[in-house]
C-alpha cells in the first residue's frame, strides 16, 4: 500500500492507494477523529457492491452509518437533489458528529464533497473513489461542484477531503468502457507533465486494460502525485498552473456539448480534445507533428477515438466559444508543446481552431 501526502498546510491530507486499501479505513478514520456518524453518499449499485465493507470498517471505528442513495448519472449533481440531501442531513443531525463519505465515482465525489463544503459552512468528508477517473483525477484536489441547467460544475467550492482512500480492488467491477474513460485522463498526465510516464503508458496500456494490480497501482500513484504537485502550487486555480489539467478539455468539452452529452463520453471527448489541441499546436508551429502522431497512436491503441464522427463542426465551434475558460471574449487553450509539457495560449485565431478540428473530421 502506498501513501501520498497532499501538502496544503492545515488542509493537508493523505491519499492511500493500494489493493485492499479499504481494509485500513477503520484505522484511518479513528486516527483522523473527524466524527462519530458517517453520512455515506452512494449510488444503489455501489452500495450493493461495497456498502457492507465500508459499513463494517466504519463500525469498527465506532461510527454509526447512514446511506443516502443518489441516482446513477450526472443528473445526481442537480440543485434539487443537493437541496434535498442538505435538508435530510439537517434533520438527521441531532446530537451527532457527522462526517460525509463519498463512496463512488466522480459524480458522487463532486456532489457529496460540495454538500460537505456548504453544510454548516463546511464539515469533514472523505473520498472513497470507485472509478479509475475518480482515483486518478476527481477525488484529489478539492474541486467539488454541482451542475446548473446551462452548464456543468457551475456551482462549486474548493474544499479538500480529509483523506482519499483509493482501493484498486474496487475497480474490478468497473466496465471496460469506464477504464478507457479514465485512461484518457491518465494519458493527459503523461502528456502535460511527465514524458517518462507517457513512455510507461505506451509500454503498459495493455496491462492497465487488463487491470493488472501492480500496473494500476503504479499508474494511480503516479497520477495522484502529478495532480497533488499541481494542486499544491495552485490550489484555487488562479495562477495559470492548475489550468494545465485542462489540456484536451477546451475542445473536449465543446465536443461533449455539441454531441448532446450522449455521442461521446467525457474520456472519449478528452481523447479527441487532446489530439485536436495537439494538432492546433502543430498548426501554430509549437509542437513537432511526430509528437501528435505518438499521442494519436497511444489513444487509438487504448481504443479511444482520434477522429470525430457524427458531430457538426459548426456546433463544436459554437460550444467552444461558450466555454467558461474564455476570458473577456478571448479564447484560452492549454496546448502541448512537447511530451511532458504544456503552455497557455490566448487569442488563437478562430480560423486556426476550425482548421485543427476539420483535420480530424
Ligand atoms: N472534481 C474534479 O476535479 C473532477 C475532475 C474530473 C471529473 N469530475 C467529475 O466527475 C464526474 C465523472 O466521474 P466518473 O467518470 O467517475 O463517473 P460516474 O461517477 O458517473 O461513474 C461512472 C459509472 O461507473 C459506475 N461505477 C462506479 N464505480 C464502479 C465500480 N467500482 N464498479 C462498477 N461500476 C462502477 C457508476 O455507477 C457509473 O455508472 C463528472 O461529473 C465530472 O464533472 C470532477
Ligand atoms: Zn476530465
The closest of 271, 245, 227 to 334, measured between CA atoms, is 245
Ligand 1 touching residue 181 (CB < 6 A): yes
For the chain, the average pLDDT equals 95
Instruction: List the residue whose alpha carbon is closest to atom 37 of ligand 1.
Output: 72
Residue nearest to atom 41 of ligand 1 (CA): 107
Q: How confident is the model at residue 323 (pLDDT cuts 50, 70, 90)?
A: low
Give tens-digit pLDDT for 155-167. Answer: 999 999 999 999 9
Residues with Cβ within 8 Å of 206's Cβ and at least 6 positions away in sequence, in order, are: none
CA 307, CA 309: separation in Å to the nearest integer? Answer: 6
Q: Is 241 exposed, middle or buried (0-12, 13-18, 19+ CB in 10 A)?
A: middle
User: Distance, CA 298 to ligand 1 centroid (Å)?
Assistant: 23
Binding site membership of 78 for ligand 1 (Cβ less than 6 Å): no
Q: Assess whether the C-beta atom of 138 lies below 6 angstroms from ligand 1.
A: yes
Q: What 3-state class would DSSP assign to 311?
A: coil
Q: What is the pLDDT of residue 330?
A: 76
41 pLDDT more than 60: yes
Tell me how far the alpha carbon of residue 236 lies from the centroid of ligand 1, in angstroms. Answer: 22
Report the atom number in ligand 1 closest to the C-alpha of 171. 31
Rounded to whole angstroms, the Cα distance separating 133 from 299 reads 16
Rounded to an integer, what distance in angstroms lies between the CA atom of residue 83 and that of residue 76?
11
- CA of 244 from ligand 2 middle (Å) equals 12
Global confidence as pTM: 0.96
Residue 246 pLDDT greater than 90, yes or no: yes
Residue 246 CB–ligand 1 contact under 6 Å: no
Is it the case that residue 285 has pLDDT exceeding 80?
yes
Residue closest via CA to ligand 1's atom 11 equals 106
Atom 4 in ligand 1: which residue has the minimum CA distance? 138
Ligand 1 atom 9: the closest Cα is on which residue?
106
Q: What percent of the chain has pLDDT over 90?
A: 93
Helix, strand or coil, per DSSP, at residue 43: coil
Q: What is the pLDDT of residue 329?
A: 67
What is the pLDDT, as a whole number, of residue 143?
Answer: 97
Instruction: Among 41, 50, 105, name the best residue to mutate to test ligand 1's pocket (greatest count of ligand atoms within 8 A of Cβ).
Output: 105
Gap between the Cα atoms of 62 and 68, Å rounded: 19
Give the number of the atom of ligand 1 that is nearest the alpha carbon of residue 140. 3
pLDDT in tens, 151-197: 889 999 999 999 999 999 999 999 999 999 999 999 999 999 999 99
Averaged pLDDT for residues 10-24: 97
Q: Which three cell numbers stand for residue 4?
A: 501520498
Residue 331 has what pLDDT? 85
Q: Which bin fits 137, alpha (ψ -120 to 50), beta or left (φ > 0)?
A: alpha
Is the alpha carbon torsion for 266, 13, 77, 23 positive or negative? Answer: positive
Given a contact cutoff of 8 angstroms between Cβ atoms, the answer to whether 36 and 63 are in contact is: yes
Amino acid at each position: 500500500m502506498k501513501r501520498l501526502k497532499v501538502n496544503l498546510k492545515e488542509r493537508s491530507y493523505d491519499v492511500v492507494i493500494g489493493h485492499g486499501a479499504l481494509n485500513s479505513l477503520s484505522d484511518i478514520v479513528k486516527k483522523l477523529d473527524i466524527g462519530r456518524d458517517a453520512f455515506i453518499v452512494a449510488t444503489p449499485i455501489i452500495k450493493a457492491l461495497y456498502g457492507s465493507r465500508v459499513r463494517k470498517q466504519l463500525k469498527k471505528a465506532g461510527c454509526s452509518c447512514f446511506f443516502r442513495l443518489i441516482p446513477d448519472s450526472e443528473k445526481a449533481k442537480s440543485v434539487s437533489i443537493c437541496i434535498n440531501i442538505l435538508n435530510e442531513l439537517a434533520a438527521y443531525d441531532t446530537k451527532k458528529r457527522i462526517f460525509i463519505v463519498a463512496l463512488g465515482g466522480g459524480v458522487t465525489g463532486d456532489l457529496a464533497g460540495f454538500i460537505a463544503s456548504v453544510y454548516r459552512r463546511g464539515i469533514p468528508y472523505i473520498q472513497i473513489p470507485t472509478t479509475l477517473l475518480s482515483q486518478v483525477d476527481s477525488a484529489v484536489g478539492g474541486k467539488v461542484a454541482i451542475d446548473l441547467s446551462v452548464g456543468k460544475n457551475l456551482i462549486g467550492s474548493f474544499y479538500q477531503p480529509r483523506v482519499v482512500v483509493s482501493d484498486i480492488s474496487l475497480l474490478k467491477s468497473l466496465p471496460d468502457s469506464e477504464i478507457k474513460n479514465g485512461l484518457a485522463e491518465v494519458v493527459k498526465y503523461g502528456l502535460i507533465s511527465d514524458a517518462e510516464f507517457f513512455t510507461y503508458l505506451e509500454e503498459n496500456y495493455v496491462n492497465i486494460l487488463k487491470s493488472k494490480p501492480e500496473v494500476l497501482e503504479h499508474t494511480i500513484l503516479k497520477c495522484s502525485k502529478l495532480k497533488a504537485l499541481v494542486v499544491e502550487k495552485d490550489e484555487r486555480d488562479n495562477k495559470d498552473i492548475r489550468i494545465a489539467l485542462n489540456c484536451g478539455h477546451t475542445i473536449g468539452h465543446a465536443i461533449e456539448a455539441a454531441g448532446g452529452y450522449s455521442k461521446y463520453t467525457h474520456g472519449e471527448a478528452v481523447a479527441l480534445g487532446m489530439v485536436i489541441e495537439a494538432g492546433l499546436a502543430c498548426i501554430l508551429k509549437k509542437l513537432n507533428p511526430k509528437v501528435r502522431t505518438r499521442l494519436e497512436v497511444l489513444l487509438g491503441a487504448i481504443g479511444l477515438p482520434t477522429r470525430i464522427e457524427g458531430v457538426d463542426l459548426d456546433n463544436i465551434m459554437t460550444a467552444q466559444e461558450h466555454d467558461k475558460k474564455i476570458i473577456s471574449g478571448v479564447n484560452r487553450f492549454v496546448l502541448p508543446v512537447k511530451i511532458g509539457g504544456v503552455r497557455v495560449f490566448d487569442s488563437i485565431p478562430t480560423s486556426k481552431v476550425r482548421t485543427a478540428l476539420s483535420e480530424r473530421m
